[in-house]
Structure 1
Amino acid sequence: MPLKRLTALPKGFPNNAPPPKFQLGDRVLLTPDFGTITGMEYAPANHLKDWGWRYIVLLDRQSPSQGWVDSDLAWEDDLQILAPALAASEMEQQPT
């Protein structure tokens, strides 16, 4: 069965949109990468068969994929908040 194409905004948008789980500036884990949320959009998601939050993650310099990509897109369910202790230790390693 073909997926339903999500072309119209959800009914009641933006008032009925769920609040985003993450905010700009949050440090997140996108296995195996990690970084900072620098953008977000409410977009149609075929895997959800609905609309959902998608984020732009600016990868940290120590992130495994940072050698070939500076940022990545991730759906909300693919992200986890980075533990504050880990985030602090990673920031200390960043060159100034």
Structure 2
Amino acid sequence: MSALAAAFDAMFADPNVGRDAVYTPAGSEPVPVRIVPRRADTISEFGEARVWSETVRLDVRVSAVAEPRPGDGFEIDGEAFVVQGEPVRDRERLVWTIELRPA
């Protein structure tokens, strides 16, 4: 295991950073996973306007979720979300960053 993989494992296991969630692939059974939530706000530009929007993003290990797709679901602290857009893997192919929308 690489040092980076070990660092990610520690981060996801840390109760101050990682959280429990349930991942449900479309048409399949729910799977418990650990996530690192990111609820950063984004500012998008649309012509001359700048639009602020609240976003819900999370990181999940590739080892826990092999191929997330738009339409798959996550439940986090009792709230249901749907994967929006294409998930993106990090450079080392260890972690997915996934954007969600409320279900």
Q: Work out whether the TM-score is over 0.5.
A: no
Higher RCO by CA contacts (8 Å cutoff, separation 6 or greater): 1
**Which one has a larger percent strand, Structure 1 or Structure 2?**
2
Q: TM-score, normalised to structure 1's length?
A: 0.33
TM score, norm. by length of structure 2: 0.31
More helix by share: 1
